[in-house]
Amino acid sequence: MDRHHPCQICTCSDGALCPGCPLQGELHCRPDRNLQRFFILNQLPFLVLAFFSLGFRGLVAGGWWPLAGYALVCLAFLGPVETRFLCSHCPFYAREGKFVHCLAYNPFPRLWPFRPGPMSSGEKAVVAAFALFIWSFPALALGHLLWPALRPAAGHSPAFLAAAGLELAVVLAALQFYYILSRCFCRRCLNFSCPFNRVPPAARREYLERNPAMKAAWEGDVDGKG
């Protein structure tokens, strides 16, 4: 790749502009397979427990709609929702290729053009709603199963104890997932307008100064919200 990519964003370049950059170590602005593996591994405990707990709920309660609905929501978020409303604003989305080459691995192809401006309020609301549902629904579904058994007259069967253990495990896994995501990724993520982004304003300003195309979109000179 040429020293300067046509999108005029340093993240899309061949890395020749990186030496001496004050943002090295401050932002995750270059592809990194180790960080990508860490991002994927961080999700696995929660996702495995989430689907297992919903499957357990289906076996005990006899209804499979929570598991099926949750799976559909996860697929919808990972596919069209995330790529359209969140990923298309990220500098990594501007890199060449049919797929998004970023730290948050996404197997779905790029179906929309890169939009360098910030997310709209509506886009932020959609992303936040999907994320909160994915994090909270497994615990809420198990809680609905456990609630009748919390009455004083109710006995604590093996199924109840197993569900209670799963409930605790799912909650802890969700907290672990969010803590590591927020601490290790959201504080250095280039998708500055994401509702969960925690990059310091000074680092964000420095990155935009070094990338005039994005700066212009953020300042309203380019329609980046599409």
The pLDDT profile of the chain, 226 residues, written as one tens digit per residue, is 344 444 678 888 776 667 778 888 899 888 888 998 999 999 999 999 999 999 998 888 888 999 999 999 999 998 899 999 999 999 998 888 888 878 887 788 888 899 999 999 999 999 999 999 999 999 999 888 776 655 554 556 676 778 788 889 999 999 999 999 999 999 999 999 999 999 999 999 999 998 988 999 998 744 444 4
Beta-carbon contacts of 57 under 8 Å, excluding residues fewer than 6 positions away, are: 63, 66, 67, 141, 142, 145, 163
pLDDT at res. 4? 42
pLDDT in tens, 65-75: 999 999 999 99
pLDDT at res. 97? 80
pLDDT at res. 148? 61
CB 188 within 8 A of CB 28: yes
User: How far apart are alpha carbons 14 and 171 in whole angstroms?
Assistant: 42
pLDDT at res. 100? 81
User: How far apart are alpha carbons 209 and 91 in whole angstroms?
Assistant: 14
pLDDT at res. 2? 40
pLDDT in tens, 82-112: 999 999 999 998 888 888 878 887 788 888 8
For the chain, domain boundaries:
33-146+158-218
Q: What is the model's pTM?
A: 0.84
**100 φψ region: left (φ > 0), alpha (ψ -120 to 50), beta (else):** beta
CB 222 within 8 A of CB 117: yes
CB 50 within 8 A of CB 70: yes
Residue among 129, 145, 172, 126 at smallest CA distance from 66:
145
CB 11 within 8 A of CB 29: yes
Which string of DSSP letters, residue by residue, matches 29-74? -S--HHHHHHHHHHHHHHHHHHHHHHHHHHHHHS--HHHHHHHHHH
